[in-house]
Amino acid sequence: MPSPPHDVHRFCSRCSSRLVTKRLKPGEPERPVCEACGHVLYLDPKVAVGTIISNARHEIAMVRRAIEPGYGKWVFPGGYVDRGEELLTAAAREAWEEAQLRVRIDGLVNIYSYPGRVPVIIVYAATSIGGELKADDESLEAAWFREADLPWSELAFPSTIQGLRDYFKGILHPYLA
């Protein structure tokens, strides 16, 4: 799948001149370049975190999305990392914001990226240490699931499916942040 179009970036952030698309080096993708000052706009990925949260009964916290993309589909809590925010802080923040759960991060499940897609998704395993699972304003509902009862056909994203599969394999990477 090709990279997203550069249509949203039409003018240079330095001099306000028009951007044109150029291939600067063989083997690299085309990039927006200012036709006046030569400034290159690098379209970097966005970093997202997801947190697979378990409880004492070995159930997994899931939320059903009330927003696009993936409206009505199930995911584990997650979202974008703010600029300058530590990854583990973002993972704990998203667990609280999306599921009202305080967590202890136990390890890194894996890192996922997909051709032609903007986000890089970092998925952590965590244990609930407080709060009460409930939906927020971006969720239709929240629920605890045992592995056998997960709504596999109703999961929102490839990273949700792959993250849960990797999690249930039981392999956690020691590198956390």
- DSSP conformational letter for 2: P
- DSSP conformational letter for 154: G
**pLDDT tens, 88-123?**
999 999 999 999 999 999 999 999 999 989 999 999
Tokens of 2: 């090709």
What is the rounded average pLDDT of the residues 142-159?
97
In the predicted structure, residue 177 carries a pLDDT above the cut 80: no
What residues contact 132, with CB distance under 8 A and at least 6 apart? 100, 101
Cβ contact 34:10 at 8 Å: no
Tokens of 146: 């045992």
Radius of gyration of the chain (CA): 19
- DSSP conformational letter for 159: H
Domains contained in the chain, CATH given: 7-43 (2.20.70), 46-169 (3.90.79.10)
